[in-house]
Structure 1
């Protein structure tokens, strides 16, 4: 990886922290805080919104909201909480590890950024650029907890730079499209071997990355004044990850038995498509109702099947993800010429099934409650604030009978999670 790309990853502060598995904010490991405006209404009506250019993440046609050169910068500060109770755990030889317990410091606060720039080319066409983090997760259980043979650290970082064009066909139809360059990294770490002699235990760490491409399409309609409909589609992104695995504290007995040695690794993973359908209705001159349904094609991610450029057997982790929907409803109220208020609720269904839930994917269904607002300093500049409380269903990880866990042992653990998210943004026109 080049120095410049390393800087981009560090500067974007992509790590979203719910223990080694999923973002606290959205089901799976999708990130949905790309706009403080949208977050304040729990994404209700987002793909049909006429408020600002940040809705273009879900529908590129909405870059037509820019009447002048516009910059929108948003950041979400995620404050997750997670309690893990280890009911039972053992290594591959059956040695009981339950007493080692769970880690207490695997969840950290973090910041997720988003940036948009729009430049009208003429009265009907707008060019746009955006930088987003569509997918991300980061968590570190540490190397001493009871489930360390299943996971110690997991991270995914996906940064997308998009180039878009949006065109207003007439008074009620707008179209948009973008091409995207994605830069992604994956980190997978866990203990290997067994606790007792002769194998003992060591640590294996995989780091891999790739650059890939995607696209988005969108249409925004206003069939009658005050009624807006939007449909946006973000494509799947195919990654061919390449990197290496490095082992530490692996003795000769373990290295010989499991054929462990530092080596190159590869795996192909498809990040899912996202389809967003929204409706906005002006109920009064000041009050707007927004509804959204988002379908994420998680079924494209069948799992991890890491191929080692050595004699070591492939490392397999089945995800068993299912395509899922998120539903939301939001209200926007123009309190005055200066102040706009928002609120919303959402239900975000997890793609993870009970059978394949793991220490790397301890994900549960989420419910959001959001509030927010925008203050207009003048016709050119505004500031937006949003607060979201995310309630995550309690889930259990029960890894006791899968063939792919033969070298990992068994784990039974309960997870209790929640999160608070504060989002702020500045919108400036020139």
Structure 2
């Protein structure tokens, strides 16, 4: 049997700590580099500023001539205003469903000789965390969603000459998640039920990159991040008065879900305008159309519960600039436009996202030649989007949530800091 409504959006979000209000489309997370965050991630495949290039473009390691590590984290505060809601079974719409979240990262790079460089990275490529208030009007479609994906990436790069280098890194990706929603009771004398799904798995993929020093002042980079296939195994738990009285199936049941996180291509360039000014620009294409729906196989008697997604492929474009104020200080700024993969028909309270604009500021400070502190701030504003969920309860659809319509206005603030140390 299948239960999709709870795992689908969450695992479809195959990731770690954030939600639809994060700084990349769908459930992707961009925050794998603080120096890149200050530029709005423009030039992600071509800048190679520090060891975080392990995630951005593994070929960029060849530009790092000293052994070094970069560690850091980004903190994200998101807010949603929910307006004009209509719900079959009533309820509130406070909108504060995204908890304060942190996104960690860490990288190490070591040149072996003039051509060969090795490295390692730990970062978060995807994430979801939403937790609506008790009595939320859309609780029969989504209540709590927490999905975490952590990637471990050993990496190697090779420089053919001073102009061209390549890089490759297999990725080991650990995903785990918890998704829940309520099930409406048809009797006023019996309380609702709740269904929770937990699952985890390890999936494997790879990142491969090319970096070309096209001129003395211009670098061009191209990076491919592969899809990752997961087969999550876990438990479905049915609890509450509904499942102990009217529909006596309370308990835990085996559950599983097959899910692919999407592949992406990132292309960018970095151009040194002067000794102080540097221009960055880039585009990212992500194959979100893989996410048509999510189906969770389970051994309970709930029957088939499906949630269509019908996502589409997306483009993100970014432009940024840095200014070398002094030998110790670098200032950065960037602007990003990012499409949402969702559509007005299938958009869910779990991922109520729309197209977004992101403005970023950043700075790097090097008190010594071997040490650099980077900080960044980003502000995200999404277009207003509508959620129109309809799932009428019936004998064949006992977990139907009725009707929930609302308009979401999402925004977010992100703040990041990192330390790079060269040996």
TM-score, normalised via structure 1 length: 0.90
Match of 1:131 in 2: 122
Secondary structure of the structure 2 residue equivalent to 1:315:
coil
Q: What CA deviation, in whole Å up to 9, does each residue of 1:86-105 have, x standing for no partner? A: 52111xxxxx41xx221354
Cross-structure match for 1:396:
386
The 3-state SS of whatever aligns with 1:68 is coil
Shift of 1:338: 0.8
Which residue of structure 2 aligns with residue 51 of structure 1? 49
- SS state at 1:57 partner: helix
Structure 2: state its 5+ residue gaps.
Answer: 1-14
Paired residue for 2:105? 114
Partner of 1:218: 209
Query: Alpha-carbon deviation of 1:402?
Result: 8.2
Is the contact made by 2:289 and 2:312 (CA closer than 8 Å) also made in structure 1?
yes
Distance 1:50 1:105, change over 3 A: closer
Greater displacement, 190-199 / 264-273: 190-199
Per-residue deviation, residues 95-151 of structure 1 (Å, max 9, x unmatched):
x41xx2213542222211111001111121111100010000101113411111101
Instruction: Tell whether the 8 Å contact from 2:79 to 2:95 is kept in structure 1 after alignment.
Output: no
Q: Distance in 2 between matches of 1:232 and 1:357?
A: 30
TM-superposed CA distance for 1:329, in Å, is: 0.2
**What is the aligned partner in structure 2 of residue 331 from structure 1?**
321
Asked if 2 retains the 8 angstrom alpha-carbon contact of 1:53 and 1:65, the reply is no
The alpha-carbon deviation at position 254 of structure 1 amounts to: 3.4
Are positions 1:172 and 2:170 aligned together?
Answer: no
Match of 1:419 among 393, 412, 416: 412
Per the alignment, residue 313 of structure 1 pairs with 303
RMSD over equivalenced CA pairs, Å: 1.9
Instruction: Give 3-state SS (helix, strand or coil) of 1:247's partner.
Output: strand
2:16·2:125 contact (CA, 8 Å) conserved in 1? no
User: Which of 237, 260, 265 does residue 270 from structure 1 map onto?
Assistant: 260
TM-score in terms of structure 2 length: 0.91
**Which residue in the other structure is 1:371 paired with?**
361
CA distance in 2, matches of 1:138, 1:363: 13
Cα deviations by residue, 1:150-180 (Å, 9 ceiling, x for unpaired): 0110121000000100111101000000011
Confirm or deny that 1:209 pairs with 2:216. no
- The CA deviation at 1:416 is 1.1
CA distance in 1 between counterparts of 2:344 and 2:417 reads 36
Partner of 2:281: 291
What per-residue deviation string (whole Å, max 9, x for no partner) do you get for residues 260-313 of structure 1?
652111110100112100011111122111111011111112221111123331
